[in-house]
Each structure stands twice: as C-alpha cells, then as structure tokens.
Amino acid sequence: MRILITGGAGYIGSHAVKALTESHTVTVVDNLTRGYRDAVPSNVNLYTNDVREISKMTQILRSEKIDAVLHFAGLAYVGESVAQPLRYYQVNVDGTLSLLAAMKEVGVNQLVFSSSCATYGTPDFLPITEQTPQRPINPYGWSKLMAEQLIKDVAASRPNFSYALLRYFNVAGCATDGTLGERHNPEPHLIPLALRAVLNPHQPLIIHGDDYATEDGTCQRDYLHVEDVVLAHQLVLEALQTHDRMVYNLGLGHPYSVRDIIAAVATVTGSDVPIIVGTRRLGDPPCLYADASSIRTQLGWQPTQIDLVNTIASSWRWLKGMDAYPRY
C-alpha cells in the first residue's frame, strides 16, 4: 500500500513512518514547524509544504499514487491553544479541511485521523468510552472535534470513503531500539519535563496545581507508549480494507497522577525530581483515563509496553543520547 503520513517528521508521526516503511511505501508531508527533517529516513520522500496548500497536496497525492492517508499534522498543546485559539483552528481545522478537499480531488478514500481525548472535556463518568459525550473545554479539544465532524460529514457524502478516528490519551515513551524519540520545542509533556529537571536541577518541574479532586491533589492521566499507538494505526489501516467507519479510544485504562510520574522518574533515574508547585493551568480536567476495550475486542489490539517505569526508561535513554538524532 502507498501511504501518505502528514506530520511524519514529528513525535508520533515519525514512529509511524518507521514502522510502516517495513511493509508499505511511505510518503511524508511535514512543514517542519515542529518536526525534524532528520527524523524521516533518507529513503522516504519528504515534502515540506503545509497541508493547507490544497493544490500542492493534490499534486502529491496524485504523483505518489497514494492509497491511504494517516493525518498526524497539527498543533497539540492545550495551554498554547488557550492563548492562541485562532492559530489552532487555522492549523487543525483548516488543515483537515484542505486535506479532505485534496483527497476528494484525487479520489483517495481512506483516512486515519489523529484525534484526542481532549474532545471529551471533563467527563461525568470514568473511564471514558467512545460513547462518552464530547464536550471540549479548550480550543485544542474543540479543533479536534471540529476536524472529526468534517471527516464524518465528508464520509456521509461519499459512500466509498472510509475512516478511523483514534482518540489518544497521553502518548509517552520513545522507540525501544533507541532510533527515535520525543523532541518538542517548547516541551509540553510531563515525563520529558520531569526527566529534564533531573538533568538540570536549576530548572525544576512545575506542578500545575495540587488542589484537584484526586487522591494526591494532582491531575491524573492515562499514559500509552508511542509504539502501541503506532500498532493501533497499523491495525486500523488494515481494517479499513473491510470496515468503513471506526472510532476508537487509545489508552491503557490506568490513571497516573503527576506525583506518580515524579516517583516513577525518580525510580528510573535514581534521583529526586526538583519541583515547584504552581497554579492550575487553564483547560486541564482533573482526571482522564480510557476504556479502550472496543479496539481490543474488535481489532485485537494488545499493547506491549504496559509498564510505566519501562516507558519512562525509554524516554530517559533517549534524552541522555539526544545529541545523535535519530540513529538509523
């Protein structure tokens, strides 16, 4: 199969490229705003245009004879979305709209979309299933929900159009073989921030609020290894050949608090994590964790990286060797 991966030079996208090139012909589109050219293997065609350039996307889909698209490209920082809502709607919503328009023009009818648990907002009940009402509480979540609706509306108008919406919870970890990792600038994610605080105690980790209605007062999240996220993409890509519309949560179903993560980082590194307790961050629900039984039951998805300490250890190994990125 000939696959286009948007955002393929970014964190999750580059791990998907790595896995899918083993059995498919992969093309990457990434404007390198937050991706890295050297995260894409040299034998993979990389186009550095923006996905909002419809004419360019149409040209790429046609010239590369694309069969299916994995759409990772977008912005994904909750706090930043609160400060820059227009930018998030422009990139995440307009980007998806432009991609769908190009796909229609060329006749590409298979799409796997990188969505988010942020579309659920603060749920009334836990764990979160695919039937949990979607009530976003920040622009990032709204932008993902709007993109989901665009995809559903296009599918309703095109009987031969098939899609999978994958709602990630908190993706973590790095490639277990050490070739790829997480490199954001600025870094928004808890695990790499805690690890960096160990390496540089003069820049302590900020806990954004310790007065939530959780056991230790800090936010709780469901952490899933990036390679298991990619595994889910491989399964739904195969399933799209016989299934037309799929929506799945991706998570392990176990919530870890910020202080749980800090303790696990200390276990991995052998050092205490320097911390500062700050104020709450806008748009942060107290607790989010998934019921991902649907994809397990229907597609046989079985996460392989289920130990939090091992997931953090993969990030620790990567962070200590970031001067050689990646190592193909």
pLDDT digits (tens, 9 = 90+) for 17-76: 999 999 999 999 999 999 999 999 999 999 999 999 999 999 999 999 999 999 999 999
Sign of the C-alpha dihedral, residues 186, 11, 312, 136? positive
Give 2-171+224-250's CATH code, choosing from 3.40.50.720, 3.40.80.10, 3.20.20.140, 3.40.50.1100: 3.40.50.720
Q: Determine whether 223 is an active site residue.
A: no
User: Could you say which DSSP state residue 132 is in?
Assistant: S
pLDDT score of 324 more than 50: no
Task: Grade residue 325 by pLDDT with cuts at 50, 70 and 90.
Answer: very low
- 76-111 pLDDT, tens digit each: 999 899 999 999 999 999 999 999 999 999 999 999
- The residue annotated as part of the active site, out of 89, 140, 223, 248, is 140
d(CA 81, CA 142): 10
Q: What is the C-alpha R_g of the chain?
A: 19
Backbone angles phi, psi at 89, to 5 degrees: -70, -35
b (16+ CB within 10 A) / e for 151-171: beebbeeeeebbbbbbbbbbb
Sequence-ordered strand ranges (E) for 63-158: 68-71, 110-116
**What per-residue confidence (pLDDT) applies to 69?**
99
Whether 151 contacts 100, CB under 8 Å: yes
| Banded model confidence at residue 326, pLDDT cuts 50, 70, 90 | very low
Mean model confidence pLDDT for the chain = 95
Nearest one of 134, 118, 53 to 81, comparing CA atoms: 118
Q: Which two tokens stand for residue 48?
A: 């550095």
Q: Which residues contact 245 (CB under 8 A, 6 or more apart)?
A: 155, 162, 163
Residue 283: pLDDT band (50, 70, 90) is confident
164-181 mean pLDDT:
96
Would you list the domain boundaries of the chain? 2-171+224-250
pLDDT at 49: 98
For range 248-266, the mean pLDDT = 98
Among 113-127, 172-186, 262-276, the range scoring the smallest mean pLDDT is: 172-186
